[in-house]
């Protein structure tokens, strides 16, 4: 990637996230791009098919509450110790979003199929579960290598955009993701990858024998933007802001409270 694609403008970096696109984001402890999420809400993106690999918390709840999501595909949305995700719960009860229930292994397998360039991935663990009743795009067949041996086929899941946050990138677009290898799966599977990072590393990450193994090569990454504390209030290489997450849970419990939260912490760009 050319050095000029290391963008300081978050809004410019997010231009490929358009209305109606399939957007894949990571779980809340793997580099959730929260600064980017707030920027998308401010822009007013609509009708996203949001894939959370394999779960989400505040990020999905914010996007749903702000009216950005038409379809959600994930295995869980929860605020964890702070309780249910209130805007997600309200949307499911009110029927304002389409829900595509999944499991953690199923989502990983479907993205791995796209990563490998194959049309589907087999998975056995879904056999006997109720979830198959609600996913007519998942097919149960008899294994071609044995009799009376059913297997589930999951179609490849190829997002338009993967959106991640990481500790650092270099001027060549290489992004250090450390041990969060699912970020690499997302980038391999998606048509485009956008990364926000805490800082720009001085030098080539792939030339460093310590850092290279945890680096996503720049040819998988289309755009990079610097966003310091870009995962806040969720953790990255800093602790989660438990006080703020508790505040969100209280405010987002009602529609009016959620609207006030957006005014105070999203539209006013008041992030720590």
Residues 78 and 150 in one domain: no
Q: Please, what is the Cα angle at 57 between 194 and 246, to 5 degrees?
A: 125
Residues 161 and 224 in one domain: yes
Residues 82 and 194 in one domain: yes
194 located within any domain: yes
236 located within any domain: yes
111 located within any domain: no
149 located within any domain: yes
Average pLDDT for 200-212: 96
Residues 132 and 164 in one domain: no
Residues 172 and 255 in one domain: yes
Average pLDDT for 171-187: 95
24-83 pLDDT, tens digit per residue, is 999 999 989 999 999 999 999 999 999 999 999 999 999 999 999 999 999 999 999 999
Average pLDDT for 217-242: 95
The pLDDT score that the predictor gives to residue 7 is 66
Q: Which among 54, 96, 98, 58 is positioned nearest to 76, based on CA atoms?
A: 54
Core vs surface per residue 18-53: b (16+ CB within 10 A) or e? eeebbbbbbbbebbbbbbbbbbbbeeebeebbbbbb
Residues 245 and 232 in one domain: yes
Residues 50 and 124 in one domain: no
Residues 227 and 142 in one domain: no
251 located within any domain: yes
The pLDDT score that the predictor gives to residue 8 is 63
Domain span including residue 252: 3-105+157-266
Residues 182 and 84 in one domain: yes
Residue 3 has pLDDT above 60, yes or no: no
The structural domain count of the chain equals 2
Question: Across the chain, what does the average pLDDT equal?
Answer: 94
Average pLDDT for 152-168: 98
112 located within any domain: no
The pLDDT score that the predictor gives to residue 272 is 44
DSSP string, 124-193: STTTT-GGGGG-TTSEEEE-TTSTT-EEEEEE----SEEEEEEEEEETTS-EE-TT-THHHHHHHHSSEE
Structure confidence at residue 237 as a pLDDT band (50, 70, 90): confident
Report the CATH number at residue 53. 3.40.1080.10
Residue 269 has pLDDT above 90, yes or no: no
The answer to whether 25 and 45 are in contact (CB under 8 A) is no
- Give the integer Cα–Cα distance in Å for 138 and 109: 12
Residue 146 has pLDDT above 90, yes or no: no
Residues 101 and 151 in one domain: no
Average pLDDT for 185-209: 97
Residues 83 and 217 in one domain: yes
195 located within any domain: yes
207 located within any domain: yes
81-114 pLDDT, tens digit per residue, is 999 999 999 999 999 999 999 999 999 999 999 9
Residues 202 and 261 in one domain: yes
Average pLDDT for 209-236: 96
At which residue do the structure tokens 């394999």 appear? 54
Residue 270 has pLDDT above 70, yes or no: no
114-124 pLDDT, tens digit per residue, is 999 999 999 99
DSSP string, 30-47: S---HHHHHHHHHHT--S
């Amino acid at each position: 990637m050319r050095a000029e694609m290391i963008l300081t403008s978050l809004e410019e970096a997010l231009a490929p996230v358009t209305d109606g696109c399939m957007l894949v984001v990571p779980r809340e402890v793997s580099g959730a791009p929260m600064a980017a999420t707030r920027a998308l809400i401010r822009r007013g993106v609509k009708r996203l098919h949001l894939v959370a690999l394999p779960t989400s918390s505040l990020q999905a709840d914010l996007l749903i509450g702000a009216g950005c999501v038409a379809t959600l595909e994930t295995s869980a949305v929860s605020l964890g110790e702070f309780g249910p995700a209130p805007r997600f719960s309200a949307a499911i009860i009110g029927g304002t979003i389409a829900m595509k229930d999944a499991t953690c292994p199923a989502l990983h397998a479907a993205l791995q199929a796209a990563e490998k360039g194959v049309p589907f991935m087999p998975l056995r663990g879904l056999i006997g579960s109720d979830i198959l009743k609600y996913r007519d795009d998942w097919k149960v067949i008899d294994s071609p290598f044995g009799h009376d041996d059913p297997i589930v086929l999951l179609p490849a899941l190829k997002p338009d955009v993967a959106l991640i946050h990481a500790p650092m990138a270099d001027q060549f677009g290489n992004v250090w993701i450390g041990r969060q290898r699912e970020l690499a799966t997302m980038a391999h599977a998606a048509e485009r990858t956008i990364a926000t990072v805490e800082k720009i590393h001085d030098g080539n990450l792939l030339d460093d024998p310590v850092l290279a193994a945890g680096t996503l090569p720049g040819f998988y990454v289309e755009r990079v933007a610097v966003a310091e504390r870009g995962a806040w209030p969720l953790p990255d290489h800093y602790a989660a802001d438990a006080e703020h997450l508790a505040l969100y849970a209280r405010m987002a419990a009602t529609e009016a409270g959620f609207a006030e939260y957006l005014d105070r912490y999203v539209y006013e760009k008041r992030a720590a």
